[in-house]
Amino acid sequence: MNHTWNKIIYKIWSPIYDSLFNSGLFLKARKQVFSDIPFKEGQKVLFAGVGTGADLELIDSTKLDITAIDFSPDMLKKAELKFAKSSIIFIEMNAQNMDFDENSFDIVVGSLILSVVPDAAACFSEMKRVLKSDGKIILFDKFAPETKKLSLPKKIIRPIVKLLGTDIGLKFEDIYKLHKEQLKILVDQPVMLNGMYRKIILKKCDN
């Protein structure tokens, strides 16, 4: 996966994205992710890789200071149209190299982004960088099991699936291990397809 290809593939995905990833099992999983998040009035919240705004539909955005970014202008346009009358700030931006200062947000949300960006480690590092001390990162994504090797069939199809815009072999633990000192895992639970998709909440604990 690379930036140019991602823009192309998500231009193709954008007209049908909601029908595939904001309905059925995916919608149920998204609701589970956000059902018990204690957003507080006035919090600065970043949606990194907001896509078509599927997650925004599940929260009360009127009481929050929300910034939503995405690298795909076509996906972002879908979200902007949905929330044209809101105060949400939409910006076309690369989540692997954000134009925000350190310690800018109380909460950073990343749904189905780490598995689609070319450099998941860089994206995760940026999420941590722009997060305030004691702030939280909320992830909803698919990850390969930490203790299992990819099966031969998955190894074979992994490069092909990447061409469709996602990585089925990414392990969260490989990304997280470099940030254990500053990020504490509060929640790590399966939400879909026998644990392939997980809800992970982390808290930033600066020393």
pLDDT in tens, 4-44: 888 999 999 999 999 999 999 999 999 999 999 999 999 99
Residue 172 is predicted with a pLDDT of 98
3-204 has which fold? Rossmann fold (3.40.50)
Separation CA 165–CA 150 (nearest Å): 19
> Is pLDDT above 80 for 119?
yes
Q: What is the pLDDT of residues 190-204, one digit of tens each?
A: 999 999 999 999 999
pTM of the prediction? Answer: 0.94
pLDDT class of 140 with cuts at 50, 70, 90: very high
Average pLDDT over residues 132-145: 97
Closest CA to 44 of 56, 61, 32, 58: 61
173: exposed, middle or buried (C-beta count within 10 Å: 0-12, 13-18, 19+)?
A: exposed
| 194 phi-psi bin (left φ>0, alpha ψ -120 to 50, beta other) | left
Placement of tokens 């990833």 in the chain: 21
Given this model, what pLDDT does residue 154 score? 81
Whether residue 196 contacts residue 41, with contact meaning beta carbons closer than 8 Å, is answered with: no
φ/ψ bin of 133: left (φ > 0), alpha (ψ from -120 to 50), beta (otherwise): beta
More confident residue, 67 or 151: 67
DSSP code, position 67? E
Tell me the per-residue pLDDT of 154-198, one tens digit each, with 9 for 90 and over: 878 778 788 788 888 899 999 999 999 999 999 999 999 999 999
The pLDDT of residue 1 is: 60
From residue 48, alpha-carbon distances to 29, 111, 132, 145 in Å are 18, 8, 15, 24
- Confidence at 207, pLDDT banded by 50, 70, 90: low
Delimit the domains of the chain by residue range.
Answer: 3-204
Spatial distance between the Cα atoms of 18 and 70, rounded to a whole number of angstroms: 15
The burial class, CB within 10 Å (0-12 / 13-18 / 19+), for 76 is buried
Between the CA of residue 117 and those of 2, 6, 23, 107, 114, what are the distances in Å? 8, 8, 22, 20, 6
